[in-house]
Amino acid sequence: MVELKVSPSSTGIIAQTFNKIKEMTSSGAIDYDTPVRILLGAGKYQGILSYNLPNPLILEGAAGTKAEDVVLSAENCEAFHKDTENRAVFVIGQNVSEVTLRGFTIENTHLKTCDDAALGNQAEALCFNCQNGSLLCQNMRFISRQDTVHVKGFSHFEDCYVTGDIDFIWGYCDTSVWKNCLIHTREDNRPGVRPAYVVQSRALNSRPGFIFIDCTFTADERPEGSEIWIGRSQGTGKPDSIDRWDSIALIDCTVSDRYDDRLWTDEDGKKAVWPEKGCKDFGWREYGTKRVNVSGEETADNLALRNPHGFVMSEEEACLLRKEFAPEM
């Protein structure tokens, strides 16, 4: 393994380090499968980043730093750079094998200024644009507003914090596991009554999609009438479609009472949901959901109020999912 240390001493230092890795592989100094570990010193790193090399990458805050001490920050959005793979602060490309992010913050500082029918406010902090590689995030913080984290392929998030207001966890994933994460819906920076959505799954056909285990969903207070949902459908999933399946699982998660009792929305029947009814393997499904009020009191949630597209797993089914995707827990 090659180990490199950087500090925010100059603009673009992380991008320069990525270029150094490319030069080392091109010259034969290291192989294309040589792992590289980059330690980030405390401070703020400005600028948009992209990593698209096959070398396994570990990018982490240096020993003794907290996630909030090391911040990768920039403003980017759809209005600036078109398409998902171009509008994030940090884009991980199609050629990667394994990427580990640990112990720092990625923040997209874009603020919404208007209602934009052209989707100019989409602004990822992280885009994992790789169907074949794998992503591991531990003790990370992801901050933006719309579309904060986008994932394809296989990803695993442990002890992370993510915040946004619309579809701020989404993607065309095979499997994206979130364990013991704090997921916070923030107030829209624009005035008025506006809905908020945490997850929009466009999962691959018949694959698990987004799985949340022992996660906590919190929310800012919003204007009266502003509905907050765990998941919503894009409305384009079909039995034979390659992706766009509405697959989200909650296992023993805690949800603020600021979220709608139905959890899932098809926008009052305006959006198709596929599968039309969840099951243990895919679709909208849950087990052991608890509701917490502003005083911190927890109660078992009222499942009778759920959107009819959702499915309640048995204890055995939930345990099998937990064993498969979080075996040490």
Quick one: pLDDT at residue 9? 84
Q: How far is CA 187 from CA 27, 30, 216, 223, in A?
A: 49, 47, 17, 9
Helices (H) and strands (E) in the chain, counts: 2, 29
Q: Which two tokens stand for residue 74?
A: 């920039």
Q: How far is CA 49 from CA 82, 87, 232, 328, in A?
A: 16, 10, 30, 33
pLDDT in tens, 254-303: 999 999 999 999 999 999 999 999 999 999 999 999 999 988 999 999 99
Residue 159: pLDDT band with limits 50, 70, 90: very high
Task: Write down all domains in the chain, each with its CATH number in brackets.
Answer: 68-325 (2.160.20.10)
Return the half-sphere exposure (C-beta side, CA atoms, 13 A cut-off) of residue 74. 22
Q: What is the mean pLDDT of residues 165-177?
A: 98
Quick one: pLDDT at residue 184? 98
Give yes or no for residue 7 having a pLDDT over 80. yes
pLDDT in tens, 13-51: 999 999 999 999 999 999 999 999 999 999 999 999 999
Quick one: pLDDT at residue 10? 79
- In the chain, the percentage of residues whose pLDDT exceeds 90 is 93
Quick one: pLDDT at residue 113? 81
Quick one: pLDDT at residue 329? 45
- Predicted TM-score of the model (pTM): 0.97
DSSP structural state of residue 321: H
Alpha-carbon distance 128 to 307, whole Å?
A: 30
C-alpha R_g of the chain: 20
Give yes or no for residue 210 having a pLDDT over 90. yes
**Taking CA 208 as the corner, what is the angle to CA 204 and CA 212, rounded to the nearest 5 degrees?**
125
Check: CB of residue 15 under 8 Å from CB of residue 45.
no
